[in-house]
Amino acid sequence: MKYYYLLSLIILCAMPEKLTVFDFQADKDLSNWMVVDDVVMGGRSDGNCYLNAAGNAVFEGLVSLENNGGFSSVRCSFERTSVADYTKAVIRLKGDGKRYQFRVKSSRRDWQSYITYFETTGDWQTIEIPLADLYPTFRGTRLDMPNYDRQQMSQISFLIANKKAESFRLELESLRLE
């Protein structure tokens, strides 16, 4: 019994409690962040991502329904990273009262994304998203596959697609896994 307890304690101490994916206050480089709008499919939405004077990333723009459009997204790709020790994403942000998607990919080559929705209030919030709740989709269609397995991560993104023309603004301070 003592051996089991000691081994458990060693394993717990070896696991990092938090993994900072991005801290915009410290990491001023947005070169890995890319806006992808519905223009890739003929739409007319227009998103932008930049650092504001406070040092936060701002994802803002206009979603248009013209030409069968309707979404704007910003994504960050990085080297495939093990995330098996983490159960949730914790995002510090200030939204505009609209609904957004949080999306991850295990591999950049995956065609499916694992997503969930979150609502913003217009004030600063800390959003906690259980990783096991992320479900697979492709182009807005839920897939008959298991939810995100929390093994690897190589991309995160935020997307707005509320089936209406609207302006949007999402200010991001940090994203970490716990």
Per-residue confidence (pLDDT) for residue 14, from 0 to 100: 44
Q: Identify the CA nearest to 88 among candidates 133, 129, 119.
A: 129
pLDDT tier for residue 3 given thresholds of 50, 70 and 90: very low
Indicate the domain borders of the chain.
18-177
Q: Domain 18-177 - what CATH class?
A: mainly beta
pLDDT tens for residues 12-37? 344 468 888 888 877 778 988 999 99
DSSP 88-138: EEEEEEE--S-EEEEEEESSTT-S-EEEEEEE--SSEEEEEEEGGG-EEEE
Secondary structure class of 68 (helix, strand, coil) = helix
Per-residue confidence (pLDDT) for residue 16, from 0 to 100: 63
Whether 128 shows a pLDDT value over 60: the answer reads yes
